Amino acid sequence: MIPLRDNLKPRRTPIVTVSILALNIGTFLYTRLLGQTGFDVVTESWGTIPFEITHVVDAISPTPFPVYLTLLTSVFLHAGWLHLGLNMLYLWVFANNVEDVLGRFRFLLFYLVCGGVASISQVVADPESVIPLVGASGAVAGTLGAYLVAFPGAMIHVIVPIFFFIRILPVPAVLVLVMWLGFQILNAWLDGGGPGGGVAWYAHIGGFAAGYLLMRVRKPRRGWVEA
């Protein structure tokens, strides 16, 4: 199921969500303009390389700042158009209402914390990997976890393939998000920790768990109306 929109309207413009979306798109376009070599250099320098984190060494590609900062810089890089597109779609569908609940400044901190926890989760799962970890998936997963706490009864309009037909159906958020998390856990188990198929499943799980727990520690205010 691919989410398209929810039935909730935030009280105010999600400025931070839109800014994060624009920053991710802008960064990706900039790195692609550098050509393949430049793109690879940025990815290896600014992406999280588990081996470098666990061994505290800048060994794979020179990084212009302390290597631990790549746990956050990697969150704003993407490997390709599909990777970027799916992450930004999920961000747009789920993050605006989470931002409305937390407030703009707290949401920004929340997003960065979830992204950092997601990166650390993948490092712990595959500590000797020299493959750069990039993508907003873990931070976006944090917004999914928070959304599950704050809006479990919301309706998410999703694309559902039924045999040879494509339908758009409203599905309860709790079902969409629990199925999403179950898919991540299943694939993490099948891949045994490593980024099978180039996907960092443990980053997704770690980010989701961080977002869920962070939202649980505060009582969300219901600042939304149905669209």
Residue 35, domain CATH: 1.20.1540.10
pLDDT score recorded for residue 166: 83
pLDDT score recorded for residue 163: 74
pLDDT score recorded for residue 212: 97
- 192 pLDDT tier (thresholds 50, 70, 90): low
**10, β-bridge pairs:** 224
pLDDT score recorded for residue 189: 87
Alpha-carbon distances of 140 from 86, 93, 96, 104, rounded to whole Å: 10, 10, 11, 16
User: Could you tell me where the DSSP H helices lie in the chain?
Assistant: 15-33, 35-46, 50-55, 70-73, 81-102, 104-125, 137-150, 173-191, 201-216
Query: Does the pLDDT value for residue 224 go beyond 50?
Result: no
Query: Does the pLDDT value for residue 196 go beyond 70?
Result: no
Distance CA 64, CA 66 (A): 7
> If we measure between CA atoms, which residue out of 66, 183, 73 comes closest to residue 133?
73
Query: Does the pLDDT value for residue 46 go beyond 50?
Result: yes
Cβ neighbours of residue 211 closer than 8 Å, sequence gap 6 or more: 98, 110, 114, 141, 142, 143, 144, 145, 146
- The total number of structural domains in the chain stands at 1
Over the range 70-98, which residues count as b (16 or more CB within 10 Å of their CB) and which as e?
Answer: bbbbbbbbbbeeebbebbbbbbbbbbbbb
In which domain, by residue range, is 137 found? 2-226
Query: Does the pLDDT value for residue 74 go beyond 50?
Result: yes
Q: Which tokens in the block code for residue 93?
A: 């569908």
β-strand 2-6 against 165-172: which pairing, if any? unpaired
Instruction: Tell me the mean pLDDT in the region 19-31.
Output: 96
Identify which has the larger pLDDT, 162 or 203.
203
Distance CA 73, CA 64 (A): 12
CA torsion sign for 22, 133, 113, 153 is: positive
Query: Does the pLDDT value for residue 227 go beyond 60?
Result: no
